[in-house]
Chain A
Amino acid sequence: MSHIRHGRPFRPEHLIGLGLALLGACSQTPEKKAEQLVVIADPQGAKFTAQSVLSATPSPSDFAGTALATNADLALPPADDLQQETLQAVARDADPYRVADSILSEDADRLTAGS
């Protein structure tokens, strides 16, 4: 920022520095984060107050441009799908109607008994 104040030409590093500052802000403790948010919301340097924190809290309209989840997003497999897959296979293996050559159908019972 001081570079800009002193009239130096704009350079890409300025944006990078800003990005790093934002990234750094994200890694701060909640208290520190809140303090910095107040600074952004009140550039006049007003004293930190609960009201100033509220004014810095994002409202739904702040996310108006955020992409909504698409059907493809919503149709993703559940997070525990691997577990589901295992359960499914176990259930199938234990199902007498599905086991290969289990011969549990009605006719098969009759045929087996009669043979």
Chain B
Amino acid sequence: MALSTRYSLFLFLLSSVGLAAAVQAAPVTSGASRNINLGTSPLMGVNLSGCEFASDGALCPSPATVNTYIDKGFRAIRLPFRGTQASNPVVVSKMKAAVDAAIKRGVYVILDRHDYGNTFDPKEAGWWGSFIKNFPNTTYVMIDTMNEPRKGASYQADPSTRRSYATEVNAGISAFRKAGYKHKLLIEWRGSSGMVRFDKREASNVACESPACSFDRAGGLKDPLGLTMVSGHRYPDSDGSGTSPVCVPNTTGTKLIWNTDLAAKARGLKVWVGEFAFGNHIKVDPICDALGKDALKRMRSLPETYVGVTWWGGGNGWKEDYLYKIEPRKGTFGTAAPSAYLTTITGR
């Protein structure tokens, strides 16, 4: 009987410990975004595609294109390019011209390395440390370190090296800052930077599967200058890929993005929505329209968290039938009356 009681006590304590351990640790508050203030938040911006279409830079947006988009009401421009283009002085020169045109108008530019490569780390920081010398303006030029990364350290720390996604990101930021650069940084994550999967609220006794968990277990996202934010992407089709005109029914725009904003807010981090789209210049499906407008309402309701959004589909290189083409038929954007979609996404 005594033995049975002790055995029962052991089992009970074991189950109690197990239950206690299966709780998520408290989010780690970070000061990584503390000094980001771009004025009115969230800023309405646009992706100006073109450079990334042709390796020789033939389709990079011109200063005239940049000015047209600014005239239409956008206050930030995300400029996608391929890393390999950084070695081509012709492409770099075109990018500089576009960036200078935006700066001249007081518009922010996000240089977007559109390579689907490694998550940010010291090696990537070294690459940016070289390339960013072409863009010394630290007020208006920001860096999207890697678009939708597909490689890099795992979210869970390696047991032997202690390296994880978060420790590598932090080491990359540290290296970039030590080199003396003060540009604002945007950090993305694997899984297409999906805003639905920034935080999986992992219990403390299981491996991390999300960036939020990884940051928490590394002591938080760290930037000594407080100029780093997280940047997620979201499209309202069923798999979030942005390849179908059919939007998800029976949900809200809020639910498409709140996984990221709730987790960011709990950690004191700010968010840039790097890509989002829900229509084009010709039409907006009513379901998509409702989702997009609700997401926008959500962003506006959290100005301390959402710094800005850059809508996908800008640039004059898209085919006319592209799902998310923002501007009307080539050559008419400057004079055309704004479409309903344009009016919504510029916030006018």
Residue positions of A touching B, CB distance < 8 A: 13, 16-17, 19-20, 23, 71-78, 81, 84-85, 87-89, 91-92, 94-95, 97-98, 100-101, 103-109, 111
Contact = CB atoms under 8 A, between A and B. Distances in A.
A104 B325 CA distance: 14
11 contacts: A72-B199, A77-B197, A88-B194, A88-B239, A89-B150, A94-B243, A95-B243, A101-B55, A103-B53, A108-B58, A111-B54
Interface residues of B, number: 45
Contact of A88 (B241, B316, B320): B241
Contacts of A73: 201
B8 A16 contact: yes
Interface of B: 5, 8-9, 11-12, 15, 49-50, 52-55, 58-59, 82, 116, 150, 191-192, 194, 196-197, 199-201, 239-244, 255, 258-259, 262-263, 266, 316-320, 322-323, 330
A74 B55 CA distance: 43
A105 B317 contact: yes
B192 A106 contact: no
Contacts of A106: 317-320, 330
Contacts of A89: 150, 192, 241
Contacts of B11: 20
A104 to B, nearest CB: 7
Contacts of B49: 105
A100 B116 CA distance: 10
Q: Interface of chain A, helix or strand or loop or mixed?
A: helix
Given A17-B8, A91-B239, A92-B243, A107 B259 contact: no
Given A75-B255, A107-B59, A100 B191 contact: no
Nearest to A73: B201
Given A71-B262, A91-B239, A81 B320 contact: no
B325 to A, nearest CB: 10
B200 A20 contact: no
B330 to A, nearest CB: 7
A71 B244 CA distance: 28
Contacts of B15: 23
Q: List the 4 closest A-B pairs by CB distance, nearest first.
A: A91-B241, A105-B317, A87-B239, A88-B241
B200 A76 contact: yes
A21 to B, nearest CB: 10
Contacts of B8: 16-17, 20
A33 B201 CA distance: 34
Given A20-B11, A103-B54, A85 B197 contact: yes
A105 B196 contact: no
Contacts of B54: 101, 103, 108, 111
B197 A107 contact: no
B210 to A, nearest CB: 8
B196 A72 contact: no
